[in-house]
Amino acid sequence: MSGRHRLTSVDTVEEEGTWLFTVRDEHGEDTEVLLVLCRDPDGDGIEAWVNSCTHESQELYREGVGTVVRDGGIVCPKHGSMFDACSGHCDNGPAAQTTLPSVEVSVEGGQVYLTDDDARFLKQGPSSDDDSDDGPNSTSHLRL
């Protein structure tokens, strides 16, 4: 469906911490995806995960806030579950024993490319232009 599409540079993801973009999936649905750094020596340094906690579909990346990443993990702002940035797996909190859905990307010459055949790049940023400032529905002690 997509072929190969240049998304951004590795340097940009490093500077911003995460990078959000929107794809259209194989079912015609618009899906937000976040790029994160992966410090796994066997990987290429960047992984892409669907921007939704597996527990309650809470956004992991919020426009204007970004994503909370600690100790190599993506933290859900609602309940504090932490997903490994390299594997997407969670072993704590309400999302324990689940894994974030991945989107295939590759890194070449310091550039990040969307290479997932089931996703077509739509745009950088969120799937909608809803500027709602409601923030996450948090029941945890996390502050963003």
Instruction: List the CATH code of the domain at 5-123.
Output: 2.102.10.10
> Does 1 score more than 60 pLDDT?
no
Q: Where is pLDDT greater, at 12 or 138?
A: 12
> Does 85 score more than 70 pLDDT?
yes
Contact of 71 with 52, CB cutoff 8 Å: no
Contact of 55 with 95, CB cutoff 8 Å: yes
Q: Where is pLDDT greater, at 42 or 109?
A: 109
- pTM (2 d.p.): 0.85
Query: Phi and psi at residue 135, in whole multiples of 5°?
Result: 70, 175
How confident is the model over 28-52, as a mean pLDDT? 90
Question: How far, CA to CA in Å, does 127 sit from each of 29, 33, 36, 92?
Answer: 10, 9, 18, 28
> Does 64 score more than 60 pLDDT?
yes
Q: Where is pLDDT greater, at 135 or 43?
A: 43
**Length of the chain counted residue by residue:** 144
Q: Where is pLDDT greater, at 79 or 42?
A: 79
Q: Using CA atoms, how far apart are residues 116 and 94, in angstroms rounded to an integer?
A: 29
Strands 5-9 and 73-75, bridge-based pairing: unpaired
Residue spans per domain, the chain: 5-123
Question: How far, CA to CA in Å, does 42 sit from each of 39, 50, 58, 90?
Answer: 9, 22, 30, 20
> Does 134 score more than 60 pLDDT?
no
Q: Which of 18-22, 26-30, 62-66 has the lowest mean pLDDT?
A: 62-66
